[in-house]
C-alpha cells in the first residue's frame, strides 16, 4: 500500500476534476488520503476559478482583436493621490491570450506578491514603457494633466519586440493621441493589460519612493509611498516639506503659505498680492487689475461651459478649469463662479442646474458629493465699516465640505462653514455655522434635526 506521501505525489499529477483516477484514491479510507484528496480538489478548483477570472479579464482585449487590432497596450498610473513623489505610468503590451496567474488590480495583490507578479509581467510582455512626471510638473499643470503627460511618455518609451500599439486600453482616462483607444472605469480590475500596467507602475514607483526614503528619512516613504499616513504627517510637522513634496497639495500648501507669511512678516517687508490677500482671507481690493482679468477669463469659461451640450466636453472643461477634480465629475449648465481655480472637488461629484460657487477663498468638496439645483456656496464677505466697503475692499472665508455629503436644492452655505463627512443638508437650508459628521441639518439658520 502506498504511503500518504506517495499518494500526495500521485494526486499532484491529476489536473482535472473529471479524471477517472480519482476513484482509485477515493476507495482508500485512510483519513490522510481523504484529506489529501480534498486538498488537491480544492487546489484544482482554485486553478479553474483563477483561469475563469483571467479569461473574464481578457474580454476587452478579445473584443479589440475581433475588431482587427493586433497590438493592444494597457495603460495605468500609480501615484495620483500621494503628497510627495512623482506620478508613474506604465504601458504594457502582452501577447494575445496571455494569462498570468495572480495578476489583478495592484491594490488587490498582496504586498508580498508584488515583485513576483511584476517579474512575471516583465518576462511575458512583448513591450513595456514607463512614464513619470515629478512633483514640479504636477504643481505646474495639476495632477490630472500630469498623469496624461506621463501616459503619453509611457507610450513613447515602449521597449521590446513590438513598440507601436494600434489599440489602447486605458484606466479611466482618454489621451490626445492618434491611436484607437478605450477608457475603462476600474480598468485595472477589468482588463489584464491594464492590470499588468498597474503592477509595473506600482513596483516602479515603490522602488523610487524607497530610494527617497533613504534620501529624506523621517517621513516613512518606504512604507507609505508618499501617501498621507500618520507617520508621514508627523514627519511633515517635525521637518517640514522636502523638495519632492507637492506644493499644491494640502497640507503642504497651507504649511508653505504659513511659513512664507511667518518669515516675511518677521522681516517686516512682506508684500502680498491682492490675490494672495484674497485667498488668505484678508481685506483685498476687488478692483485689482489682475483679479479683474481672472474674473473675466472665468466668465468666458462659464459662457463656453454653459453653452456646451456635450457632457464629456463639459467634464474636460471643468478638469482644466478647477483647481483639482476627481475623474468622475458632472456639473449641469448655468454654473456660476468667481474664478473656478479656487474650487477643488473629489471623485463622484455631481452638481445640478444653476449651481453658484463664489470662490474668492477656496471651496473644497470631498468624494461622493451630490448637490441639488440652485445650491449656493458663498465665500465672499464685506466689511461692516461702510468706508471700507465704499473703497471696494472685500474679504472671504473658505468653505470645506467632507465626503458623502448631499446638499438639497436651494440650500446656501455661507463663508467659513465646514461640513463633516456623511452630512445631509435639507433643501432651502441656510448653513451659517459648521457641523460635524453624520448629521442631517435643515432650516434657516440650519440646525441638526437628525443624527445618522
Residue list for the binding site: 76-77, 171
SS3 of 207, please? helix
Residue 296 DSSP class:
H
| β-pair type (356-358, 370-371) | unpaired
357: left (phi over 0), alpha (psi -120 to 50) or beta: beta
8 A C-beta contact, residue 57 and residue 194: no
Residue keyed to cell 506600482: 202
Q: At what angle do helices 114-124 and 192-215 cross, to 10 degrees?
A: 120
- Kindly give, in sequence order, each residue whose CB lies less than 8 Å from that of residue 58, ignoring residues fewer than 6 positions away: 97, 99, 191, 192
Angstrom distance (rounded) from CA 186 to CA 192? 12
Q: What is the distance between the alpha carbons of residues 396 and 379, in angstroms, rounded to a whole number? A: 5
Handedness of CA 107, 110, 112, 118 (dihedral sign): negative
Residues tagged in the binding site annotation for a divalent metal cation: 76-77, 171
Q: What are phi and psi of 379, to 5 degrees?
A: -100, -15
**Residue 236, helix vs strand vs coil:** helix
Is-contact 79 225, C-beta < 8 A? yes
User: How, if at all, do strands 363-365 and 380-381 pair?
Assistant: unpaired
**Rounded to whole angstroms, what are the CA distances from 138 to 141, 149, 323, 361?**
6, 10, 12, 22
Amino acid at each position: 500500500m502506498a504511503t500518504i506521501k506517495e499518494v500526495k505525489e500521485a494526486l499532484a499529477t491529476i489536473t482535472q476534476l473529471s479524471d477517472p483516477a480519482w476513484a482509485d484514491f477515493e476507495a482508500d479510507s485512510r483519513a490522510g488520503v481523504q484529506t489529501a484528496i480534498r486538498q488537491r480538489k480544492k487546489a484544482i478548483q482554485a486553478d479553474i476559478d483563477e483561469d475563469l477570472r483571467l479569461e473574464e479579464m481578457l474580454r476587452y482585449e478579445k473584443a479589440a482583436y475581433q475588431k482587427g487590432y493586433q497590438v493592444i497596450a494597457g495603460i495605468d498610473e500609480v501615484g495620483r493621490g500621494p503628497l510627495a513623489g512623482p506620478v508613474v505610468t506604465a504601458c504594457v503590451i502582452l501577447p494575445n491570450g496571455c494569462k498570468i496567474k495572480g495578476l489583478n488590480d495592484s491594490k488587490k495583490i498582496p504586498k508580498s506578491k508584488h515583485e513576483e507578479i511584476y517579474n512575471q509581467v516583465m518576462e511575458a510582455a512583448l513591450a513595456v514603457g514607463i512614464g513619470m512626471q515629478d512633483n514640479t510638473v504636477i504643481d505646474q499643470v495639476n495632477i490630472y494633466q500630469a498623469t496624461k503627460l506621463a501616459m503619453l511618455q509611457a507610450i513613447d518609451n515602449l521597449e521590446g519586440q513590438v513598440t507601436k500599439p494600434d489599440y489602447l486600453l486605458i484606466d479611466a482616462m482618454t489621451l490626445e493621441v492618434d491611436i484607437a483607444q478605450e477608457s475603462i472605469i476600474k480598468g485595472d480590475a477589468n482588463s489584464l493589460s491594464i492590470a499588468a500596467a498597474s503592477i509595473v507602475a506600482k513596483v516602479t514607483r515603490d522602488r523610487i519612493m524607497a530610494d527617497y526614503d533613504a534620501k529624506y528619512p523621517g517621513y516613512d516613504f518606504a512604507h507609505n509611498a508618499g501617501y498621507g499616513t500618520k507617520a508621514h504627517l508627523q514627519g511633515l510637522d517635525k521637518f517640514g516639506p522636502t523638495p519632492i513634496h507637492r506644493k499644491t497639495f494640502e497640507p503642504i500648501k497651507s504649511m508653505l503659505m504659513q511659513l512664507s507669511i511667518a518669515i516675511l512678516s518677521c522681516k517686516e517687508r512682506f508684500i502680498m498680492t491682492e490675490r494672495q490677500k484674497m485667498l488668505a482671507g484678508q481685506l483685498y481690493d476687488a478692483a485689482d487689475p489682475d483679479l479683474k482679468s481672472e474674473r473675466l477669463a472665468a466668465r468666458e469659461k462659464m459662457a463656453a461651459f454653459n453653452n456646451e451640450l456635450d457632457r464629456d466636453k463639459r467634464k474636460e472643461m471643468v478638469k482644466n478649469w478647477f483647481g483639482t477634480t476627481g475623474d468622475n465629475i458632472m456639473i449641469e449648465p448655468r454654473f456660476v463662479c468667481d474664478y473656478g481655480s479656487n474650487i477643488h472637488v473629489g471623485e463622484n461629484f455631481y452638481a445640478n442646474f444653476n449651481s453658484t460657487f463664489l470662490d474668492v477663498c477656496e471651496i473644497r468638496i470631498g468624494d461622493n458629493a451630490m448637490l441639488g439645483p440652485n445650491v449656493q456656496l458663498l465665500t465672499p464677505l464685506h466689511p461692516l465699516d461702510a468706508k471700507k466697503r465704499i473703497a471696494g475692499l472685500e474679504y472671504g472665508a473658505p468653505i470645506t465640505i467632507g465626503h458623502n455629503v448631499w446638499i438639497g436644492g436651494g440650500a446656501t452655505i455661507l463663508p467659513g462653514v465646514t461640513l463633516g463627512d456623511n452630512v445631509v443638508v435639507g433643501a432651502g437650508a441656510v448653513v451659517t455655522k459648521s457641523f460635524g459628521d453624520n448629521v442631517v441639518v435643515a432650516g434657516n439658520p440650519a440646525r441638526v434635526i437628525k443624527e445618522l
